[in-house]
Amino acid sequence: MAKSRAAKKRSEGVHFRVYLDACCVNRPFDDQEQDRIRLESEAVYLVLRHVQVHGWTWVGSDILKHEILAIPDLVKREQVQALLEAVTETVQLSKRTLLRAGAVESKGFSGQDALHLACAEQAEADVFLTTDDRLLRRAVRRRRDLSVRVANPVDWIREVG
């Protein structure tokens, strides 16, 4: 069986550049009663562990920080902001990013999702991780329009692990 590109890259000792959207960084603080939410939370924590221990790059962005600041629950906002301290690279919104986001939005993505995807592309991330099923389905249908792979963190960890 042929190795996936991600598994091959990992076996070669190359470190990944990962972009986690707001859904991902919120997931560990969601209600953990559902198995799916617990699994996704653990996968997010595994990605963050790879950032800290194995030198993966966690790419964040101005738009990610902005979304986190808008979390109405103060306790949850502070918990998520604490995670953001591990971001190793931040994409600043620029005219180029906004133009690309507009092009991505024209393919049917929401404005916020388009901004996140444009930031991940600008940073040349290996993967854009999200727990948003609607975004994942749209990204699969529009994968030729994107220059970044979009995946659920559980699937991604299974692939590279």
d(CA 145, CA 157): 24
- By CB neighbour count within 10 A (0-12 exposed, 13-18 middle, 19+ buried), where does 131 fall? buried
Q: Among 129, 124, 103, which Cα is nearest to 114's?
A: 103
Convert the pLDDT of each residue in 20-51 to its tens digit: 999 999 999 999 999 999 999 999 999 999 99
What are the E-state strand segments in 8-145? Answer: 17-20, 57-61, 89-91, 127-129
Interval 49-66 mean pLDDT: 94
Interval 70-80 mean pLDDT: 96
Contacts of 113 (CB under 8 A, 6+ apart): 21, 104, 132, 135, 138
Domains by residue range for the chain, with CATH = 5-90+123-160 (3.40.50)
* The pLDDT value given to residue 11: 46
- Looking at residue 145, its amino acid is D
Convert the pLDDT of each residue in 89-127 to its tens digit: 999 999 999 999 999 999 999 999 999 999 999 999 999
Count the Cβ atoms, other than its own, within 10 Å of residue 1: 3
Mean pLDDT taken over the chain: 92
pLDDT value at 1 more than 90: no
**pLDDT tier for residue 161 given thresholds of 50, 70 and 90:** confident
Q: How far is CA 142 from CA 12, 92, 109, 111, 132, in A?
A: 29, 25, 10, 16, 15
pLDDT value at 142 more than 60: yes
Contacts of 88 (CB under 8 A, 6+ apart): 51, 57, 58, 59
* The pLDDT value given to residue 15: 85
pLDDT value at 153 more than 60: yes
* The pLDDT value given to residue 7: 47
pLDDT value at 8 more than 80: no
* The pLDDT value given to residue 158: 94
d(CA 142, CA 3): 24
Q: What is the CA radius of gyration of the chain?
A: 15
